[in-house]
Amino acid sequence: MQNRTFTADAAPGDEVTVAGWVHEVRDLGGIAFLIVRDKSGKIQIKLEEDSMDDELVETGLDVARESVISVSGSVKEEPRAPTDVEILPESIEVLAESDTELPLDPSGKVDAELSTRLDNRTLDLRKGEVKAVFEIRSEILRSVRAAFRDLGCTEINTPKIVATGTEGGTELFPITYFGEEAFMNQSPQLFKQLMVGSGLERVFEIGPIFRAEEHNTPRHLNEATSIDFESAFVDHTEAMDACEHVVKSAYEGVAANCESALETLGLTEEFEVPDGELPRLTYEEAIERINATGELDEQLVWGDDLPTEGERALGDDVGSHYFITDWPSEIKPFYIKDHDDDEQLSTGFDMMHPRMELVSGGQREHRYEHLVAGFEQQGLDPDQFEYYTKMFKYGMPPHAGWGLGGERLVMTMLGLENIREAVLFPRDRQRLSP
Ligand code: ATP
Ligand code: AMO
């Protein structure tokens, strides 16, 4: 495989070896064409019976679609070839034969159901438009990491096997840990907070979260990727600024570095980087605006969580990414701080895409007594969280942060209908393999 040339780099006059998958075989009788596909694109290989070695032509004609071959030869200009060049082969080596019966058609000519695609991701990602989603996902993660670096964050990794949940007891996956009950972590929440009180001060983590969600929906996964930020010495408004920076950086990175993937997805025209300061509505304004749309059968009142149809009506009304701030304390978790002058009102916020929630965050309760009281109010046993609460006795600075759903960011950015399309091997209620 030494000196392999990507098909996109093969220029007229070059002697090259390209390797890839047989995308198409067209035998016109006397002359035949193989289209070879690799990660960079496709190239035509011309086979001519009269002028080429019989064995070479036979090898080329016998090879099944989706087999892996290596072709050495000279590159010629050919205006009738799909990429204006073709290879006149001197040798063709079959590296891996494919069965002729394929569970899905990587050329995309025959549509496949999502479940068939997920069962055969290797073949599915041979399609340009599926591969493009994951190239963009990779760029999003790269840009997000760079944005966290701009903000002076240190990347951390925290345990995924834990003793307690944080985001509501019903959504935990229990496991057995050397005879003891343990859980898959729902959020790095408590660990990232413990690290803002350490010498690191400002941290981020990109890692899996596990939630035994009750419902099967197009926007929930049972294993998702959480992009988490936490910083000492900032309040919730500064945490929102950081959130804006990170989300915008993801869009900017994709706009700058994923031109061809966006083109493959037909998004070149409509791709827009969120611009200007994102609107920040209070929860109270949000419910008033939802009620004013008349889209809900029942009017929302203070204290209600926002139903999906309400989020959608408001998203249509606002028309861009936006924040909802100042949520009622009673519907936010124990670690979110209330406003100093009104304990019914929390510093919790959500960042919304017009289609759905992307981020939750807030300023944290860093005062030991208030924190312990908050546990009790939510019916949680503070003793179980002692490893966490005790660090609040040794100098825990004021701090704030948020968690962004990685797949939701990919999904909303690319207009994907189902969040499963943004994960290679999704975990949902019906899917544990592959
Ligand atoms: P040529 O004299 O260039 O080999 P041709 O026009 O005499 O081509 P054939 O050789 O019989 O015709 O080719 C059959 C078909 O394949 C034609 O429709 C021709 O346009 C097309 N064709 C020939 N060579 C190429 C090529 N290098 N790339 C793409 N299509 C080709
Ligand atoms: P929350 O529970 O709102 O907050 O989660 C944060 C973000 O993670 C994404 N998300 C999911 N994505 C796909 N499938 C799921 N099942 C799923 N659950 C959550 C969403 C959501 O907005 N500890 C807090 C964050 C914080 O305050 O820092 C938390 O986990 O995009």
* Residue 1 pLDDT: 53
- Where residue 85 sits, what CATH number does that domain have? 2.40.50.140
Is residue 411 domain-shared with residue 357, that is, in the same domain?
yes
- Which percentage of the chain shows pLDDT scores above 90? 93
Contact 347, 337 (CB under 8 A): yes
Cβ(60) – ligand 2 distance below 6 Å = no
Is residue 260 domain-shared with residue 375, that is, in the same domain?
yes
Domain presence at residue 107 = no
Whether complex ipTM tops 0.85: yes
Is residue 239 domain-shared with residue 191, that is, in the same domain?
yes
Which of the four pLDDT bands, split at 50, 70 and 90, describes residue 142? Answer: very high
Contact 355, 246 (CB under 8 A): no
Q: Give the pair of three-digit tokens for residue 278.
A: 């994102």
Atom 16 in ligand 1: which residue has the minimum CA distance? 28
* Least confident window among 93-107, 115-129, 156-170, 402-416: 156-170
Domain that holds residue 26: 7-96
Give every CB contact of residue 169 below 8 A, 6+ residues apart in sequence.
none
Is residue 258 domain-shared with residue 397, that is, in the same domain?
yes
- Where residue 260 sits, what CATH number does that domain have? 3.30.930.10
Domain presence at residue 295 = no
Q: Which atom of ligand 1 is nearest to the CA of 28?
A: 14
Domain presence at residue 67 = yes
Domain presence at residue 284 = no
Residue 168 has pLDDT above 80, yes or no: no
Active-site position among 37, 117, 126, 220: 220
Is residue 67 domain-shared with residue 191, that is, in the same domain?
no
Q: Which of 278, 258, 276 is nearest to 268 (CA)?
A: 258
* Residue 169 pLDDT: 56
Domain presence at residue 352 = yes
Which ligand is located closest to the Cα atom of residue 32? 1
Residue of 166 and 271 predicted with greater confidence:
271
Q: Give the pair of three-digit tokens for residue 137.
A: 């996902």
Which ligand is located closest to the Cα atom of residue 46? 1
As a whole number, mean pLDDT of residues 68-87 equals 97
Q: Is 90 a catalytic residue?
A: no
Where do we find the tokens 């978790």?
A: 333
Which residues partner with 405 through β-bridges? 226
As a whole number, mean pLDDT of residues 9-36 equals 97
Is residue 129 domain-shared with residue 92, that is, in the same domain?
no
Is residue 219 domain-shared with residue 324, that is, in the same domain?
yes
User: pLDDT digits over 190-229, tens only?
Assistant: 999 999 999 999 999 999 999 998 889 999 999 999 999 9
Which of the four pLDDT bands, split at 50, 70 and 90, describes residue 2? Answer: low
Cβ(220) – ligand 2 distance below 6 Å = yes
Is residue 272 domain-shared with residue 173, that is, in the same domain?
yes
* Residue 293 pLDDT: 95
Residue of 214 and 236 predicted with greater confidence:
236
Three-state secondary structure call for residue 106: coil
Which ligand is located closest to the Cα atom of residue 84? 1
Is 26 marked as binding a ligand?
Answer: no
Is residue 270 domain-shared with residue 208, that is, in the same domain?
yes
Among 25, 28, 31, 43, which residue has the most ligand 1 atoms within 8 Å of its CB, making it the best to mutate?
31
374: CA distance to ligand 2 center in Å? 20
* Residue 215 pLDDT: 85
Average pLDDT of every residue of the chain: 96
d(Cα 396, Cα 375) in Å, to the nearest integer?
A: 17
Is residue 261 domain-shared with residue 211, that is, in the same domain?
yes
Is residue 42 domain-shared with residue 173, that is, in the same domain?
no
Q: Is 366 a catalytic residue?
A: no
Domain presence at residue 111 = no
- Which percentage of the chain shows pLDDT scores above 70? 99
Active-site position among 211, 236, 321, 420: 211
User: pLDDT digits over 302-322, tens only?
Assistant: 999 999 999 999 999 999 999
Give every CB contact of residue 180 below 8 A, 6+ residues apart in sequence.
none
Q: How many domains does the chain have?
A: 2
Q: Is 211 a catalytic residue?
A: yes
Q: Is 244 a catalytic residue?
A: no
Given 79, 96, 113, the domain boundary residue is 96
Q: Is 4 a catalytic residue?
A: no
Domain presence at residue 112 = no
Domain presence at residue 38 = yes
Q: Is 360 a catalytic residue?
A: yes
Burial zone of 97 (CB within 10 Å; 0-12 exposed, 13-18 middle, 19+ buried):
middle
* Residue 377 pLDDT: 85
Is residue 174 domain-shared with residue 264, that is, in the same domain?
yes
* Residue 170 pLDDT: 65
